[in-house]
Amino acid sequence: MNKKIFLPVLSFVSLIVAKTASAVCPVCTVAVGACVGLARWLKIDDRITGKNIFLLIVSLIWWTIDFLNKKNIRFYGRKIIITFGYYLIILLPLKFTNVIGHPFNKCWGMDKLLWGIIIGSAAFLLLSFLHLKLKQKNQNKSYFPYQRVIVPVVPLLILSLILYFVFKAI
């Protein structure tokens, strides 16, 4: 089929059948994964890459829980099991391939990638609680559109910049 016809038809069909995106859509998850790969390729410090790996883990967790909710699959402790499961699925291969634990990739005695994942996890958890507290103070409504995304993501972006410039000197 001719490209001049195929691409506009494909675009039109995509617009008709497209669903609205959720907070953590599959495309976003793939984009975060690609950013992690790009960061490694560009040799960005592992503390920043680790924070982004955490974002990949979070999006996979939310995506899975949302999928299970839609399919009405419920079991005791599923959120905790899914969370630990994804951390293990992502961290164990990194450990076994010496991406985590390499002797020349340490900062203050801890692996840089693991350090970034821990910092990203702690920051995101605190920022998510901040979002919930803000909603609670406003009769369970967000103060502004996309608050659920902006409150955690913007400070994490700022954290990335701080980590980049602070640890660039180390």
- Flag whether 90 is in a domain: yes
- Flag whether 7 is in a domain: no
- Flag whether 4 is in a domain: no
CA 20/CA 80 separation, integer angstroms: 28
CA 157/CA 67 separation, integer angstroms: 27
- Flag whether 154 is in a domain: yes
pLDDT of residue 17: 46
pLDDT of residue 15: 43
pLDDT of residue 70: 92
CA 5/CA 130 separation, integer angstroms: 49
pLDDT digits 0-9 by tens, 115-152: 888 888 888 778 878 888 888 999 988 888 888 778 87
- Flag whether 13 is in a domain: no
Kindly report the backbone phi and psi dihedral angles of residue 145, in degrees, each rounded to the nearest multiple of 5, phi listed first.
-60, 140
Mean pLDDT, the chain, integer: 77
- Flag whether 54 is in a domain: yes
- Flag whether 15 is in a domain: no
- Flag whether 32 is in a domain: yes
CA 40/CA 149 separation, integer angstroms: 25
pLDDT of residue 9: 52
pLDDT tens over the chain, length 170 residues? 444 554 455 444 444 444 444 445 566 666 666 777 777 788 777 777 787 787 778 878 888 888 899 999 999 999 999 999 998 998 888 888 888 888 888 877 888 888 888 888 888 778 878 888 888 999 988 888 888 778 877 887 888 788 777 766 66
Looking at the 3D structure of the chain, how many domains does it have?
1
pLDDT of residue 19: 47
pLDDT of residue 24: 52
Structural domain boundaries enclosing 120: 24-168
Q: For residue 143, what are its two tokens? A: 């103060």
